[in-house]
Chains A and B, each alone.
Chain A
Amino acid sequence: MVGSLMYAALGSRPDFAFSVTALSQYNVQPLEMHVTAAKRVVRYLKTTAEFRIHYRRLTSYPQSPHNSPSINIIGYTDSDWAGNLTTRKSVRGCVFGLGHTNANEELVMSGMIHWQAKSQSVVAHSTLEAEYIACSHATQKSLWLRRMMKEAAEGMAVKIVDGPVPTVPSN
């Protein structure tokens, strides 16, 4: 059951990825409470079956001077300082999506293209250090994503913005 949930969480439903990750830690010796929790996630999935990641039409993206849509990447990061009480390691999380302008001319995220939560490999000594590590990894990821999208968009009527990739760490 957890494997099937994992498939959805990794592919198209980041909203319950945390729950599936937490459940998967008990795959080896699950107790009754873990089966109950897994069933609860399935019920959530059933009630939110219509949820989709929206990838907007190209015309909703800012136009470049050459009248081709300019797509930017926007990312958010967060960390959970010493979230693991046994190892004192923190978890870093990030979410990346395509940027588009809203009615107030602000750059906001539309379709998500990448999301991840991972335990940090080193023990951070403060929230600042944990956030900095998360931010560093997100920066690397954002540059990699932009390079990959630029390659994918080569020859297409889409421009991947060369300017800054807005990356938004938590306070």
Chain B
Amino acid sequence: MKGAVKFQYVTSESNPADLQMKPLAVPRQERLLQLTDLTAFGPDDGQPEYDE
């Protein structure tokens, strides 16, 4: 499967894998969580997947 994976390099500041590696300060943890789309989501924020 040659060429099946494309590599890019990022700094540690914007690497969400750091969430799994070390304890992070609150601002950085929040930023990484936003990058991975893991944020607060209230019961009224949802949308139906398909319109009626």
- Residues of A bordering B, CB below 8 Å: 13-15, 17-19, 48, 50-54, 56-57, 76-80, 83, 91, 93-95, 97, 108-112, 115-117, 135, 139, 142-143, 146, 163-171
Contacts and interface: CB of A to CB of B under 8 A. Distances in A.
A33 to B, nearest CB: 15
A164 B8 CA distance: 11
Contacts of B10: 76, 168, 170-171
A78 B18 contact: yes
Interface string B40-51: 111000010100
A135 to B, nearest CB: 7
A110 B37 contact: yes
A76 B21 contact: no
Specify the main secondary structure of chain A where it touches its partner: strand
A54 B40 CA distance: 10
A95 B36 contact: yes
19 contacts: A14-B19, A15-B19, A15-B29, A15-B38, A18-B19, A18-B23, A50-B41, A50-B42, A57-B47, A57-B49, A78-B15, A83-B21, A91-B21, A95-B19, A143-B1, A168-B7, A170-B9, A170-B12, A170-B17
Contact of A111 (B4, B5, B35, B37): B37
B17 A93 contact: yes
B20 A116 contact: yes
B3 interface: yes
Nearest to A98: B37
Nearest to B6: A164
A143 B33 contact: no
B17 A95 contact: yes
Contacts of B29: 15
